[in-house]
Amino acid sequence: MAMEARRALVDSGTMQRMLAVIGFTVVLYLVHDMLHLPPGLVALIGASVGLLWVRPKVEEVLADIHWDVLLFFMGLSSWWEGWRRPGSWVGCPPTWDFLPKRGSSWPRW
């Protein structure tokens, strides 16, 4: 069962505007070093320009977000930074004395 592209596309004007935003974002990624912009900021600029130009309904945008996946990756990145740099979280102990040191035997009695 093949999908017909003309029937799937319901708003060609919005598609053309978003293609222009994607093109702008790709160009901005190519020159972000010269402009001294971090890649994350380039992504936020592209997303913001797209949302401001298209002006979708907020309820529809929030309903289409996969919150479980978003929260999973937020938790994963927080866990990884905490594991990589112990003590970087507010309220965490600066040392992890309960973990065995490298080269030591487990368990430590």
Would you place residue 90 in the very low, low, confident or very high pLDDT band (cuts 50, 70, 90)? low
Tens digits of per-residue pLDDT, 19-58? 999 999 999 999 999 999 999 999 999 999 999 999 999 9
Q: Is the pLDDT of residue 106 over 60?
A: no
SS (H, E, C) 31-98: HCCCCCCCHHHHHHHHHHHHHHHHCCCHHHHHHHCCHHHHHHHHHHHHHHHHHHCCCCCCCCCCCCCC
> What's this model's pTM, rounded to 2 decimal places?
0.60
Listed by start position, the domains of the chain span 12-84
